[in-house]
Structure 1
Amino acid sequence: MSLRWAYNTNGLSSHRLDDALALLADHGYAGVALTLDVAHHDPFAPDLARRTAALAERLRDLGLASVVETGARFLLDPRRKHHPTLVSADASDRARRIDFLRLCVDVAADLGSEAVSFWAGVLAEGLDPDEAWKHLVHGVASVAGHARWRDVPVAVEPEPGMLVDDLDDWSELQGEVPDITLALDTGHCIVSGRWEPADAVRAFAPHLGAVAVEDMPRGVHDHRTPGEGDMDLPAVVTALRDVGHRGLVSLELSRDSHRADRLVPEAIATLRAMEGVDE
């Protein structure tokens, strides 16, 4: 079984979305991790339903599956990166993030996407961690309930430095909101937490809703192309194959859009070589 490789559009920000999708299809990717953003299917621009229907048709024509990503930096606030979050101090800010995530679920449902991925957010300054956790559980439960109604899996991603920082935090959250799946970025495992990447794949295989496998230096949250960090990527690839993972496996290289023309073909060639698949 060959893994189903995908590429995150946040690493194609210098490409028009249609050009980015064609590039991925031409190089044999099975899908796209679509980060809804100001330049790539802005969910707040006019005619969202019509644009989403057209995008769904384009994805079908290209043979690309999709997952929807929600980590756009300045989509909700042009002056504050990743603001607001599910753990912002102000209730109206948290509500804005919840509404946005529910809208992303709607887009994913209309696209036929395999999952929607999102994170918790950084603990707001001065906010009690226990209080923030209650806000988080409320927000995640609201999004998960809407996703259940739309029949879209939602995957919460542990992010270094956020309230859900590692896989143990995710397990605690999943104990309170059982409907969620795991968005596992294997590189994050060597940045924080006690799980090695390949071990994490095997231990959490039944819960995987979305997977990303870009490389990282140990202890440093810096997304890098395969082979440029310290992660044992061949071991991760082997683990994903061993557990029979059938979902998309994405690369998220958001700081490398300036060289996407080279990285898109080079990355999939490297990954296929690791799993022993010919071009």
Structure 2
Amino acid sequence: MPLSAVTVSLVAEAKGGPFVFWDDLPAACAQAKRLGFDAIELFAPGPDAVSRETLGKLLSTHQLRLAAVGTGAGWVKHKLSLTSPDADVRKRAIDFIRSMVDFGGVHQAPAIIGSMQGRWGEGVSKEQAIDWLREGLNELGEHARGYGVPLIYEPLNRYETNLVNTVDAGVELMESLATNNVRLLADLFHMNIEEGDLAAALTRGGRWIGHLHFVDSNRRPAGCGHIDYAPIAKSLKDIHYAGYLSAEALPWPDSSAAAEQTISAYRRVVDMVESS
């Protein structure tokens, strides 16, 4: 059965972004526990934002898991990407992501590569950018293996990258890697833009789907847009998905209401999974 998670951002530069809770990690953990979430997904400015001991104690106290850690601060804070035309920037991007793999790995949580994948252009061909992306995923996927977790790669919509926009393109990339320790993040918001049929795309993603961002078409919490979750639930059952449905959603109309709406929608989807 899929598990539930809710996002927490500690990155000041990402204010206004699609994260349910902001800034106060202890309060977010307490509320996540009270509402019945299984885990939090943490978007931190770097690997030293929260000590291993502090985060471990918070998770233990509130009986939560760490579902995943985001690496997007490497882009929003430092403008690092795996496909930059500057070799030094690419190296620093690898180093930053590696440090975030370490940060999450000690808590058995994978790191997510989304915005840090970058894009092609400005003198860099798509083929070259994909080659650099592939090199980075191979190296970082093997590094994540040391913690017994995969690396998570996220296809983004066309307005955020021109590299990989669909689940099918993501699967093609996964199958071209030397490592077998990278999985796809299926984000329902991005998929709503790029996929003709969300459920069919999830089915085609199959075993490569390692994480899911549970959100609606307008990036508000699930149930506040026009996505039909019944066929999605059936696809999740068909592919035997047992990962997280993690709310990377806007705190609409506020964080508490967004979290409550999400956990309610999550329970409805799990009921659909079990009855489909």
TM range (shorter): 0.7 to 0.9
- The equivalent residue for 2:16 is none
Alpha-carbon distance between aligned partners in 1 of 2:121 and 2:29, rounded to the nearest angstrom: 36
TM-score, structure 1 normalization = 0.83
Whether the aligned pair in 1 keeps the contact of 2:215 and 2:221 (CA below 8 Å) is yes
- The equivalent residue for 2:262 is 267
Alpha-carbon distance between aligned partners in 2 of 1:28 and 1:110, rounded to the nearest angstrom: 24
TM-score, structure 2 normalization = 0.83
Alpha-carbon distance between aligned partners in 2 of 1:189 and 1:14, rounded to the nearest angstrom: 25
Please say if 1:129 is aligned against 2:126: yes
- Shift in Å at residue 125 of structure 1? 2.6
- The equivalent residue for 1:152 is 149
Any unmatched runs of 5+ in structure 1?
78-82, 217-221
Q: Secondary structure at the match of 1:150?
A: coil
- The equivalent residue for 1:231 is 227
1:250-265 alignment runs, 5 A limit: 250-253=246-249, 255-256=250-251, 259-265=254-260
- The equivalent residue for 1:27 is 35
Whether the aligned pair in 2 keeps the contact of 1:85 and 1:97 (CA below 8 Å) is yes
Q: Secondary structure at the match of 2:152?
A: strand
Alpha-carbon distance between aligned partners in 2 of 1:140 and 1:7, rounded to the nearest angstrom: 25
User: What value does the CA root-mean-square deviation take over the aligned residues?
Assistant: 2.2
- The equivalent residue for 2:170 is 170
Any unmatched runs of 5+ in structure 2?
10-18
Whether the aligned pair in 1 keeps the contact of 2:119 and 2:129 (CA below 8 Å) is no
Alpha-carbon distance between aligned partners in 1 of 2:270 and 2:108, rounded to the nearest angstrom: 28
Whether the aligned pair in 2 keeps the contact of 1:13 and 1:257 (CA below 8 Å) is no
Whether the aligned pair in 2 keeps the contact of 1:186 and 1:211 (CA below 8 Å) is yes
- The equivalent residue for 1:80 is none
- The equivalent residue for 1:190 is 192
The change in CA–CA distance for 1:175 and 1:239 in structure 2 (over 3 A counts) is closer
* Post-superposition CA distance 1:48-76 (Å, at most 9, x none): 6xx11321232122121221222237654
Alpha-carbon distance between aligned partners in 1 of 2:85 and 2:21, rounded to the nearest angstrom: 31
- The equivalent residue for 2:214 is 213
- Shift in Å at residue 138 of structure 1? 1.2
- The equivalent residue for 2:47 is 43
Count of residue pairs the alignment pairs up: 255
Alpha-carbon distance between aligned partners in 2 of 1:169 and 1:242, rounded to the nearest angstrom: 21
